[in-house]
């Protein structure tokens, strides 16, 4: 889950696993697999970086438990 900001300034949490495509035209538009669309203040690059960081946190937690048995 990543925190993003709508164009009106309200923050919300997005399940980044649902992202299908992102475009900038000029507003950043996120298209989800369920058909929903979100316009956000963050750039496409920022969303990618937030998603990568989220996945690093998730997978590092999983990997730290390997070999503990």
pLDDT digits (tens, 9 = 90+) for 2-48: 999 999 999 999 999 999 999 999 999 999 999 999 999 999 999 99
pLDDT digits (tens, 9 = 90+) for 45-63: 999 999 999 999 888 876 6
> pTM for this structure?
0.84
Q: Rounded CA gap, 69 and 67, in Å?
A: 5
* Dihedral pair phi/psi, residue 25, rounded to 5°: -150, 60
Q: Residue 66 pLDDT more than 70? A: no
Domain map of the chain by residue range? 2-64
- Looking at residue 59, what is its pLDDT? 86
How many C-beta neighbours within 10 Å does residue 32 have? 16
pLDDT band at 68 (very low <50, low <70, confident <90, very high): low
* 50 exposure class (CB count in 10 Å sphere: 0-12, 13-18, 19+): middle
């Amino acid at each position: 889950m990543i925190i993003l900001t709508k164009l009106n300034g309200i923050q919300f949490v997005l399940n980044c696993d649902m992202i299908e495509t992102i475009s900038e035209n000029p507003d950043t538009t996120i298209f989800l697999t369920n058909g929903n669309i979100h316009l956000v203040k963050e750039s496409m690059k920022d969303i990618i970086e937030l998603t990568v960081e989220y996945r690093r946190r998730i997978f590092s937690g999983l990997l730290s438990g390997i070999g503990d048995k």
